[in-house]
Amino acid sequence: MLAAVADYRELARRRLAAVAFDYLDLGAEDGGAIARNRAAFDRVLFVPRVLRDVAAIDCAVEVLGTRQALPLVVGPTGLNGLYCPRAEEALARAAHRAGVPFVLSTASTSLLEDVRAASDGPLWLQLYVQEDRAIAQDLMRRAAACGCTTLMLTVDTPVHGKRDHDTRNGFRLPLPLTPRLAWDLARHPRWCLRMLRQGGSPQLVNLARSAGVAPQLAHQAAALSRRMDRRLTWEALAWLREHWHGKLLVKGLLAVADAELALRHGADGIVLSNHGGRQLESVPSALAMLPAVRAAVGGRLEVLVDGGVRRGADIAKARALGASAVLLGRAPLYGLAARGEAGVDEVLRLLRDEFETTLRLLGLTTSMALDATVLCDDTPARLALP
């Protein structure tokens, strides 16, 4: 096991072709939102207590009425086949071994049914709603049949954010073989062999099945590029409830007013998120908005948060500020790209070890004891800094 998530990132950078690593690692425009995600965690400081019995630690929490081993969820990420064949199956198995849920993306490169067969751990589905709502309805039907417990509606992508790195790399599906890409591939033979083992470019098989398109990448990419339902409003939650009878989370909120609307329209919870800094660049981090959102909705709504989690201490900071759990996006993917499924296991174990260490050094024995009393009194002021 490497020393830190940053080390897995560096190993992933060396092993992936630039077109794949940039897709994983970079964000919208000049990357300001990504930088703010990390800076927000850096601004949160602890005030530890000492001379307390911390021999036994309980990291478990309850999220959406279900007890899990850690206050984290392996969150939804698309096109993971760029990093490792059968990527979503590997992520799901590693999440199950860690005792936490795995969220499968609409844009996954593995079928929902194959992921379910690979692991009997808690499985959630992330949903994009396109103009043809029949696609979303079929995804929900399949998710229910596979025993998914939670639907995570993502609402911050009516259009795709401007990602300069994709333009520079000529990234699109299927990938065009340009001289720049050919040189990139020649410098990364190990990655090329991984891609060849799965038949070339990863396939958007999950979306393709529900969209009813032919099994060619060009057709699948066209299905993914269909316009999102730009008429989607809060009233759509009632439509979702007609087709989904499990828990319902709304992902991609930052505004306090939107959190209150989610509560009013019957969501079970929300995920504060700026989409990993990949959509609108000039936005605050989700962590910076967490105290105000928690103050507004109190305990009436489950609040999760994502963006920039790289340390076990980050998980503790989010819990102390009022989050039920954090979602991991890039961190397990760094492990996946660096060392395959074993790398995901190592990243999740590393974060657990760091989280346990943080609890002990704070003088706490349970995740449930994390609250604002462990933070410096000026934490809200520092989070509000640009």
pLDDT of residue 219: 59
Number of domain units in the chain = 1
Q: What percent of the chain has pLDDT over 90?
A: 80
Of 96, 165, 188, 275, catalytic: 275
- What mean pLDDT do residues 83-104 have? 97
pLDDT class of 200 with cuts at 50, 70, 90: low
275 assigned to active site: yes
Determine the structural domain holding residue 13 and report its residue range: 5-383
pLDDT class of 63 with cuts at 50, 70, 90: very high
Residue 96 scores a pLDDT above 70: yes
Write phi, then psi, for 384 (nearest 5 degrees): -80, -5
Report the alpha-carbon distance of residue 33 to residue 308 in Å, rounded. 10
pLDDT per residue as tens digits for the range 4-40: 999 999 999 999 999 999 999 999 999 999 999 999 9
pLDDT per residue as tens digits for the range 253-262: 999 999 999 9
pLDDT per residue as tens digits for the range 334-357: 999 999 999 999 999 999 999 999
Residue 199 scores a pLDDT above 70: no
pLDDT class of 222 with cuts at 50, 70, 90: low
pTM, two decimal places: 0.95
126 closest CA partner among 140, 141, 116, 146: 140
Could you tell me the CATH number of the domain that includes residue 329? 3.20.20.70
pLDDT class of 211 with cuts at 50, 70, 90: confident
Give whichever of 19-23, 128-132, 177-181, 267-271 has the largest mean pLDDT.
Answer: 267-271
pLDDT of residue 196: 75
pLDDT of residue 226: 60
In three state form, how does the secondary structure of 155-173 look? CCCCCCCCCHHHHHHCCCC
pLDDT per residue as tens digits for the range 175-192: 777 777 778 877 888 888
Write phi, then psi, for 325 (nearest 5 degrees): -165, 170
C-beta contacts of 371-374 below 8 A and 24+ residues apart: 371/320, 372/320, 372/321, 372/322, 374/46, 374/47, 374/48, 374/49, 374/316, 374/320
In this structure, the number of other CB atoms found within 10 A of the CB of residue 173 comes to 17
- What mean pLDDT do residues 215-232 have? 69
pLDDT of residue 212: 84
Average pLDDT, the chain: 93
pLDDT class of 218 with cuts at 50, 70, 90: low
Cα distance from N-terminal residue to C-terminal residue, the chain: 35
Higher pLDDT pick, 247 / 172: 247
174 prior amide bond cis, ω within 30? yes
